[in-house]
Amino acid sequence: MRPIIEFCASNMHHGTDKLMHALEANPDYDVLEYGCLGNCGECYLFPFALVNGEIVAGETAEALEQAVLAKIKEIEDMFDLLSDSD
């Protein structure tokens, strides 16, 4: 399962551009940038991204990175659990 991580171009002033480029370097992730993700309130207030369609946010770009990685691990663990039950 390849997680899809989406970034809003309007949110880059929070430093999420560096995180986006770092995640793009990982071939196991699908990283996309959009002009707008339709979450203007979040976009204005703090760094955020969507991971498989779910909002993940942090107070800083560094905190967002940790939150994104934690969400990816959570999703991977869920898929592992579901595949073990087959």
Which helix (H) or strand (E) segment is 58 a member of?
none
CA–CA separation, 76 vs 41, rounded Å?
A: 29
Q: Quick one: pLDDT at residue 85?
A: 61
Model pTM score? 0.89
User: How far is residue 62 CA from its own chain's centroid?
Assistant: 12
> Exposed, middle or buried, 12 (CB in 10 Å: 0-12/13-18/19+)?
middle
Ranges of residues in the chain whose predicted pLDDT is under 50: none
Q: Which residue has the tokens 């949110």?
A: 11
DSSP-based helix, strand, coil % in the chain, nearest 5: 50, 20, 25
Check residue 32 and give its pLDDT.
Answer: 97
